[in-house]
């Protein structure tokens, strides 16, 4: 306390060991056999769930465009009585969680996609699509005239439906591939897992993100290729920022009371994301990720089910266990993303480049100081 005088520059970053690990192509998660089992197993079931989420998000974006009462939006167009009954029995994937992630992304914004949605170019395209959609609906036309931002805002939401759907499409395939590689014995350590994910992200980095809808036989490009939006920088990075880091305050753990000042006025200081979240309340009230954990429990690989069964309460608290594993896997994905986003190659010999890399990672690690990083090390 007394001797923290001038030598600030010399003090190493408190998370320096992690920075070094990332630079050595290792992970924020320690390498161990059970960690690999948990991470790959959970990513496998996550992959299956993301596949369903992604298909549904894209279906909604493409086929439920500006439908005011989308009663059957989770049916992907196949409405049959047995499906309806299963839906009512709540024997289904909880697509609400996908929409929750989408809304979180939309709300936090960030990246070129967000900026594009405010551009005049987008607004023109948006107006054209809206006009076509409500051409024969005078009530909606009136509403549109009165509340000028109502429908454009809905269209922006549709854009995010589609963008997140496209992002998860890639991630789902990547995670399933990872699981196949693990089953084939090609991936055996956490650094290999991270490398696998990083390779997948890098490969998809420049994929274009586009969105168009068909209205009355005519196609309206809402996100044209010309907007130049790409997978990694315009969707993946905002996604990680919005869902892994910031998140939204859970009603079940944080008070919204304005006079209690528990929630920061500055969204960039939010730390309610997946890397910070406390797994214990999962399953309780007001904890949205429960939906995801519930969906994943149906698709756990047998080895992971057996692993959970052997511990503590067995499958009675499986959703908490899934969340703990999921958090571990998300630290791997974060490791992969950070390594993929490094300004210069990790093994650069140029000291300026090294310093830039270091600063880049130091910035992220500072934010992770209050995350569950310490606990996943245990």
Partner 1 sequence: MAQFFVETSWLLPIYGLIGALLALPWSTGMIRRTGPRPAVYLNILMTLVAFGHGVMAFRGIWNSGPQELLFSWFEVADVHLTLAFDISVLNLGALELITGLSLLAQVFALGYLEKDWALARFYSLMGFFEAAMSGLVLSGSLFVSYSLLEMLTLSTYLLVGFWFAQPLVVTAARDAFLTKRIGDVLLLMGVVTLASLAGSLNFNDLYEWVKVENLSPTMATLLGLALIAGPIGKCAQFPLHLWLDEAMEGPNPASILRNSVVVTCGAFVLIRLQPIVVLSPVALGTLVGLGTVTAVGASLVALAQIDIKRTFSYSTSAYLGLVFIAIGTEWPGVALMLLLTHAVAKALIFMAVGSIITTTSCQDMTELGGLGRKMPATTFAYVTGALGMVGVMPLGCFWGLRMGADFLGGSAPLLALLFFIVNGLTALNLTRVFRQVFLGTSQPKTRRAPEVPWQMAVPMVTLSIINLLVPLAMGKLSLLPPWEYINWPITVLMLVSGWVGVAIGATVPLSKSLARSLNRTLRIAQDLLAYDFYTERLYDKTVVLAVSSLARFSSWFDQYVVDGLVNGVGLASLFGGESLKYSASGQSQLYLLTIVAGVGLLGIFMTWTLW
Partner 2 sequence: MLSALILIPLVGALVLILWPGQLEAQTAKVVSAVSLGLTLVVLLLLGSQFELTTPGLQFEELLPWIEPLGLSYRLGLDGLSLPLLVVNSLLGLVSIYISDPKLHRTRLYYVLLLVINSAVAGAFLAANLLLFFIFYELELIPLYLLIAIWGGARRGYAATKFLIYTALSGVLVLGAFLGLVWLSGNSSFDYDSNLAAALPLAQQMTLLVALLVGFGIKIPLFPFHTWLPDAHVEASTPVSVLLAGVLLKLGTYGVVRFGLGLLPDAWMALAPWMATWAVISVLYGSLAAIAQTDMKKMVAYSSIGHMGYVLLAAAASTPISIVATVFQMISHGLISALLFLLVGVVYKTTGTRDLTVLRGLLNPERGLPFIGSMMILGVMASAGIPGMVGFISEFLVFRGSFLIFPVQTLLCMVGSGLTAVYFLLLVNRAFFGRLAIAPPTATPQLDVDLPRVSWRDRAPALGLAALIIAFGLQPNWLARWSEHTTLALHQPYQGFVVGESRFAPAALPATVAETILIVPAVSPSSAADAAEVYLP
302 lines the binding site for partner 1 (CB under 8 A): no
Determine if 329 is a binding residue for partner 2 (CB under 8 A). Answer: no
Residue 100 found at the interface with partner 1 (CB under 8 A): yes
Write the binding mask 132 to 151 for partner 1: x where contact by CB under 8 A, - elsewhere. -----------x--xxxxx-
Instruction: Provide the token pair at 302.
Output: 């047998």
* Residue 256 binding target from partner 1, partner 2, none, CB below 5 to 8 Å by type: partner 1
The site partner of 374 among partner 1, partner 2, none (C-beta below 5 to 8 Å per kind) is partner 2
In the bound state with partner 2, the residue whose beta carbon lies nearer, of 55 and 321, is: 321
- What is the chain's alpha carbon radius of gyration, rounded to the nearest angstrom? 22
- For partner 2, which residue of 147, 313, 347, 369 counts as binding (CB under 8 A)? 313
Instruction: State the nearest-atom distance from the C-beta of 103 to partner 1, in Å.
Output: 8
Q: Alpha-carbon distance 98 to 101, whole Å?
A: 5
- DSSP annotation string for 50-116: HHHHHHHHHHHHHHSTT-S--TTGGGTT---HHHHHHHHTT-S--HHHHHHHHHHHHHH--HHHHHH
Q: Which residue has the tokens 């210069």?
A: 344
Our CB check for partner 2 shows the closer of 130 and 291 to be: 291
Q: How far is the CB of 214 from partner 1 (least distance, A)?
A: 22
Question: CA-to-CA distance for 24 and 5, rounded, in angstroms?
Answer: 32
* Contact window for partner 2 (CB under 8 A) among 1-9, 120-128, 193-201, 316-324: 316-324
Interface region with partner 1, contact rule CB under 8 A, candidates 21-29, 99-107, 323-331, 340-348: 99-107
Binder among 199, 206, 285, 375 for partner 1 (CB under 8 A): 285
Q: What whole-number distance in Å separates Cα of residue 49 and Cα of residue 101? A: 14
Range in contact with partner 2 (rule: CB under 8 A) among 30-38, 121-129, 255-263, 276-284: 276-284
Helices (H), the chain: 16-23, 33-63, 81-88, 95-108, 111-117, 120-133, 138-146, 150-183, 190-204, 231, 237-239, 289-297, 302-309, 318-341, 351-368, 373-376
CB closer to partner 1, 69 vs 217: 69
d(CA 317, CA 312): 9
Tracing tokens 């005239």 back to the chain, one arrives at 145
Q: How far apart are CA 114 and CA 108, in angstroms?
A: 9
Nearest to partner 1 of 112, 294 (CB atom)? 294
Q: How many CA atoms lie within 13 A of 117 on its CB side?
A: 21
249 binds partner 2 (CB under 8 A): no
| Residue ranges that bind partner 2, judged by CB under 8 A | 253, 278-284, 312-314, 316-317, 319-320, 324, 374-375
């Amino acid at each position: 306390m007394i001797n923290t005088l001038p030598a600030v520059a010399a003090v190493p970053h408190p998370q320096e060991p992690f920075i070094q690990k990332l630079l050595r192509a290792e992970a924020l998660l320690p390498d161990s056999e059970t960690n690999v089992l948990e991470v790959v197993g959970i990513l496998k079931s996550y992959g299956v769930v993301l596949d369903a989420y992604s298909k549904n998000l894209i279906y909604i974006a493409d086929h439920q465009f500006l439908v005011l009462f989308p009663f059957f939006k989770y049916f992907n167009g196949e409405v049959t009585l047995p499906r309806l009954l299963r839906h009512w029995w709540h024997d289904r994937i909880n697509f609400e969680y996908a929409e929750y992630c989408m809304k979180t992304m939309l709300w936090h914004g960030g990246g070129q996609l967000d900026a594009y949605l405010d551009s005049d170019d987008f607004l023109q395209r948006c107006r054209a699509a809206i006009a076509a959609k409500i051409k024969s609906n005078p009530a909606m036309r009136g509403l549109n005239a009165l509340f000028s931002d109502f429908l454009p805002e809905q269209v922006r939401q549709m854009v995010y439906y589609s963008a997140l759907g496209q992002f998860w499409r890639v991630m789902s395939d990547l995670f399933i591939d990872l699981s196949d590689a693990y089953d084939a014995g090609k991936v055996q350590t956490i650094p290999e897992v991270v490398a696998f994910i990083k390779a997948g992200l890098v490969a998809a980095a420049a994929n274009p993100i586009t969105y168009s809808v068909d209205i009355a036989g005519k196609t309206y490009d809402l996100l044209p290729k010309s907007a130049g939006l790409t997978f990694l920088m315009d969707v993946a990075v905002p996604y990680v920022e919005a869902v892994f880091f910031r998140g939204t305050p859970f009603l079940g753990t944080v008070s919204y009371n304005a006079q209690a000042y528990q929630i920061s006025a500055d969204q960039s200081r939010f730390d309610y994301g997946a890397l910070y979240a406390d797994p214990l309340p999962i399953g309780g009230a007001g904890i949205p990720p429960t939906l995801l954990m519930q969906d994943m429990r149906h698709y756990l690989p047998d080895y992971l089910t057996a692993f959970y069964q052997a511990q503590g309460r067995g499958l009675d608290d499986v959703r908490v266990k899934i969340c703990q594993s999921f958090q571990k896997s998300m630290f791997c994905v974060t490791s992969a993303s950070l390594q993929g986003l490094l300004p210069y190659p990790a093994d650069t010999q140029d000291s300026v480049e090294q310093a830039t890399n270091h600063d880049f990672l130091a910035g992220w690690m500072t934010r992770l100081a209050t995350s569950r990083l310490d606990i996943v090390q245990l």
